[in-house]
Amino acid sequence: MTSKALSSLNERLKDIDQLIKAHSAITKFNNAESAAKKAGGELAKISSVMHALVTDPGRGKPKEVDAINRAAFVLLTAHFQGFVDDLHAEAGALILKGKANDPAAVIKLIKPPRSNPHVNIINQMFSGLAIYEVMDSISWQKCDNKSVKTRLTGYLETRNKIAHGKKEAITKQKVTSLKQFIETLARKLDEKVGEKAALVIGTSPW
Protein backbone atom coordinates (compact mmCIF):
# COMPACT_ATOMS: atom_id res chain seq x y z
CA MET A 1 0.00 0.00 0.00
CA THR A 2 1.06 3.56 -0.59
CA SER A 3 -0.13 6.92 0.66
CA LYS A 4 -2.78 9.00 -1.04
CA ALA A 5 -0.05 11.61 -1.50
CA LEU A 6 2.01 9.25 -3.68
CA SER A 7 -1.02 8.23 -5.74
CA SER A 8 -1.78 11.91 -6.33
CA LEU A 9 1.81 12.60 -7.39
CA ASN A 10 1.78 9.76 -9.90
CA GLU A 11 -1.36 11.23 -11.39
CA ARG A 12 0.16 14.73 -11.62
CA LEU A 13 3.29 13.39 -13.28
CA LYS A 14 1.17 12.65 -16.33
CA ASP A 15 1.51 16.40 -17.02
CA ILE A 16 5.20 15.78 -17.64
CA ASP A 17 4.46 12.93 -20.03
CA GLN A 18 2.31 15.34 -22.03
CA LEU A 19 5.12 17.90 -22.20
CA ILE A 20 7.58 15.23 -23.33
CA LYS A 21 5.14 14.19 -26.07
CA ALA A 22 4.81 17.84 -27.10
CA HIS A 23 8.61 18.02 -27.29
CA SER A 24 8.66 15.14 -29.79
CA ALA A 25 5.69 16.50 -31.74
CA ILE A 26 7.27 19.92 -32.22
CA THR A 27 10.55 18.40 -33.33
CA LYS A 28 8.78 16.07 -35.77
CA PHE A 29 6.85 18.99 -37.22
CA ASN A 30 10.00 21.05 -37.71
CA ASN A 31 11.77 18.10 -39.31
CA ALA A 32 8.81 17.62 -41.65
CA GLU A 33 8.74 21.33 -42.48
CA SER A 34 12.42 21.17 -43.38
CA ALA A 35 11.86 18.07 -45.51
CA ALA A 36 8.96 19.75 -47.30
CA LYS A 37 11.12 22.74 -48.24
CA LYS A 38 13.79 20.44 -49.59
CA ALA A 39 11.22 18.41 -51.52
CA GLY A 40 9.79 21.50 -53.21
CA GLY A 41 7.25 20.56 -55.85
CA GLU A 42 8.66 17.13 -56.60
CA LEU A 43 6.03 14.59 -55.58
CA ALA A 44 8.61 11.85 -55.77
CA LYS A 45 10.31 13.35 -52.72
CA ILE A 46 7.17 13.97 -50.66
CA SER A 47 7.72 10.63 -48.94
CA SER A 48 10.58 12.28 -47.08
CA VAL A 49 8.06 14.68 -45.51
CA MET A 50 5.82 11.84 -44.36
CA HIS A 51 8.83 9.97 -43.05
CA ALA A 52 9.79 12.97 -40.93
CA LEU A 53 6.29 13.09 -39.43
CA VAL A 54 6.30 9.49 -38.23
CA THR A 55 9.95 8.97 -37.34
CA ASP A 56 11.36 9.40 -33.85
CA PRO A 57 12.87 12.89 -34.08
CA GLY A 58 15.75 12.19 -31.70
CA ARG A 59 17.25 15.19 -30.00
CA GLY A 60 15.50 18.45 -30.81
CA LYS A 61 17.22 21.76 -31.41
CA PRO A 62 17.38 23.85 -28.22
CA LYS A 63 15.63 26.82 -29.80
CA GLU A 64 12.66 24.63 -30.72
CA VAL A 65 12.07 22.85 -27.42
CA ASP A 66 14.05 24.69 -24.75
CA ALA A 67 10.98 26.41 -23.28
CA ILE A 68 9.16 23.08 -22.99
CA ASN A 69 12.15 21.47 -21.30
CA ARG A 70 12.50 24.29 -18.79
CA ALA A 71 8.77 24.30 -18.05
CA ALA A 72 8.79 20.54 -17.48
CA PHE A 73 11.80 20.82 -15.18
CA VAL A 74 10.18 23.48 -13.00
CA LEU A 75 6.85 21.64 -12.97
CA LEU A 76 8.54 18.44 -11.83
CA THR A 77 10.10 20.12 -8.81
CA ALA A 78 6.76 21.78 -8.03
CA HIS A 79 5.01 18.41 -8.14
CA PHE A 80 7.59 16.96 -5.76
CA GLN A 81 7.09 19.87 -3.37
CA GLY A 82 3.35 19.29 -3.49
CA PHE A 83 3.89 15.61 -2.75
CA VAL A 84 6.01 16.38 0.32
CA ASP A 85 3.34 18.77 1.60
CA ASP A 86 0.58 16.23 1.01
CA LEU A 87 2.56 13.41 2.63
CA HIS A 88 3.28 15.56 5.68
CA ALA A 89 -0.40 16.47 6.04
CA GLU A 90 -1.53 12.86 5.57
CA ALA A 91 0.93 11.45 8.09
CA GLY A 92 0.20 14.29 10.50
CA ALA A 93 -3.53 13.67 10.43
CA LEU A 94 -2.97 10.05 11.44
CA ILE A 95 -0.37 10.75 14.12
CA LEU A 96 -2.35 13.59 15.72
CA LYS A 97 -5.72 11.85 15.56
CA GLY A 98 -7.18 11.84 19.06
CA LYS A 99 -4.27 13.91 20.35
CA ALA A 100 -5.36 17.32 19.05
CA ASN A 101 -8.77 18.91 18.61
CA ASP A 102 -7.73 20.37 15.26
CA PRO A 103 -4.93 18.28 13.71
CA ALA A 104 -4.88 20.44 10.56
CA ALA A 105 -4.17 23.57 12.61
CA VAL A 106 -1.35 21.83 14.48
CA ILE A 107 0.16 20.56 11.22
CA LYS A 108 0.10 24.10 9.87
CA LEU A 109 1.90 25.37 12.96
CA ILE A 110 4.71 22.81 12.85
CA LYS A 111 5.25 23.13 9.12
CA PRO A 112 8.06 25.49 8.04
CA PRO A 113 7.16 28.47 5.83
CA ARG A 114 6.62 27.39 2.23
CA SER A 115 10.00 26.67 0.75
CA ASN A 116 11.74 24.46 -1.77
CA PRO A 117 11.83 20.87 -0.48
CA HIS A 118 15.52 20.76 0.41
CA VAL A 119 16.76 17.91 2.59
CA ASN A 120 16.86 20.00 5.78
CA ILE A 121 13.36 21.36 5.12
CA ILE A 122 11.92 17.87 4.68
CA ASN A 123 13.65 16.65 7.84
CA GLN A 124 12.39 19.66 9.77
CA MET A 125 8.82 19.19 8.58
CA PHE A 126 8.55 15.56 9.64
CA SER A 127 10.48 15.98 12.89
CA GLY A 128 7.51 18.00 14.12
CA LEU A 129 5.52 14.77 13.83
CA ALA A 130 8.11 12.73 15.76
CA ILE A 131 9.39 11.32 12.45
CA TYR A 132 13.06 12.13 12.69
CA GLU A 133 15.84 12.32 10.08
CA VAL A 134 13.57 10.84 7.43
CA MET A 135 15.88 11.86 4.58
CA ASP A 136 19.05 10.51 6.19
CA SER A 137 18.67 6.85 5.25
CA ILE A 138 17.04 7.01 1.83
CA SER A 139 19.02 5.35 -0.95
CA TRP A 140 18.64 2.90 -3.81
CA GLN A 141 20.75 0.95 -6.24
CA LYS A 142 23.59 3.07 -7.66
CA CYS A 143 22.43 6.07 -5.60
CA ASP A 144 23.62 6.18 -2.00
CA ASN A 145 22.21 8.62 0.54
CA LYS A 146 24.88 11.23 -0.14
CA SER A 147 24.09 11.10 -3.86
CA VAL A 148 20.35 11.39 -3.18
CA LYS A 149 20.90 14.56 -1.16
CA THR A 150 23.40 16.03 -3.62
CA ARG A 151 21.18 15.39 -6.61
CA LEU A 152 18.09 16.83 -4.94
CA THR A 153 20.02 19.96 -3.97
CA GLY A 154 21.38 20.35 -7.50
CA TYR A 155 17.97 19.94 -9.11
CA LEU A 156 16.41 22.51 -6.79
CA GLU A 157 19.22 24.99 -7.42
CA THR A 158 18.67 24.62 -11.17
CA ARG A 159 14.94 25.08 -10.67
CA ASN A 160 15.56 28.34 -8.80
CA LYS A 161 17.82 29.65 -11.55
CA ILE A 162 15.16 28.95 -14.17
CA ALA A 163 12.44 30.50 -12.03
CA HIS A 164 14.52 33.66 -11.66
CA GLY A 165 15.00 34.04 -15.39
CA LYS A 166 18.47 32.59 -15.83
CA LYS A 167 19.10 30.64 -19.01
CA GLU A 168 19.81 27.03 -18.12
CA ALA A 169 20.54 24.37 -20.74
CA ILE A 170 17.79 21.84 -20.07
CA THR A 171 17.62 18.90 -22.44
CA LYS A 172 14.90 16.30 -22.80
CA GLN A 173 17.30 13.82 -21.18
CA LYS A 174 17.64 16.05 -18.12
CA VAL A 175 13.87 16.22 -17.81
CA THR A 176 13.56 12.44 -18.11
CA SER A 177 16.33 11.89 -15.55
CA LEU A 178 14.70 14.28 -13.08
CA LYS A 179 11.33 12.58 -13.53
CA GLN A 180 12.85 9.17 -12.81
CA PHE A 181 14.69 10.57 -9.77
CA ILE A 182 11.55 12.15 -8.34
CA GLU A 183 9.48 9.02 -8.92
CA THR A 184 12.02 6.92 -7.05
CA LEU A 185 12.68 9.45 -4.28
CA ALA A 186 8.94 9.93 -3.68
CA ARG A 187 8.39 6.18 -3.46
CA LYS A 188 11.30 5.75 -1.02
CA LEU A 189 10.21 8.73 1.08
CA ASP A 190 6.67 7.36 1.16
CA GLU A 191 8.01 4.03 2.44
CA LYS A 192 10.29 5.64 5.03
CA VAL A 193 7.58 7.94 6.41
CA GLY A 194 5.23 4.96 6.57
CA GLU A 195 7.78 2.93 8.52
CA LYS A 196 8.54 5.71 11.00
CA ALA A 197 4.89 6.70 11.39
CA ALA A 198 4.05 3.08 12.23
CA LEU A 199 6.41 3.29 15.21
CA VAL A 200 4.48 6.28 16.50
CA ILE A 201 0.90 5.11 15.93
CA GLY A 202 1.51 1.37 16.35
CA THR A 203 0.20 0.32 12.96
CA SER A 204 0.97 0.84 9.28
CA PRO A 205 -0.47 4.18 8.16
CA TRP A 206 -1.15 2.99 4.59
Answer yes or no: are the C-beta atoms of 83 and 8 closer than 8 Å. yes
For residue 47, name the pLDDT band (cuts at 50, 70, 90).
very low
Q: For residue 158, give the 3-state DSSP assignment.
A: helix
Please report the pLDDT score of residue 40 as a whole number.
55
Burial tier of 118 (Cβ tally within 10 Å: 0-12, 13-18, 19+) = middle
* pLDDT higher than threshold 70 for residue 204: yes
Answer yes or no: are the C-beta atoms of 204 and 98 closer than 8 Å. no
Arithmetic mean of pLDDT, 22-27: 60
For residue 57, name the pLDDT band (cuts at 50, 70, 90).
very low
* pLDDT higher than threshold 90 for residue 145: yes
Give the gyration radius of the chain's Cα atoms: 22
Residues sharing a CB contact under 8 Å with residue 150, sequence separation 6 or more, in sequence order: none
Which range scores top for mean pLDDT: 17-21, 42-46, 81-85? 81-85
Which is more confident, 75 or 40? 75
* pLDDT higher than threshold 70 for residue 26: no
Q: Outline where DSSP puts E strands in 138-190.
A: none
Q: By percentage, how much of the chain surpasses pLDDT 90? A: 59
Please report the pLDDT score of residue 89 as a whole number.
95
| Percent helix / strand / coil, the chain, rounded to 5 | 70, 0, 30
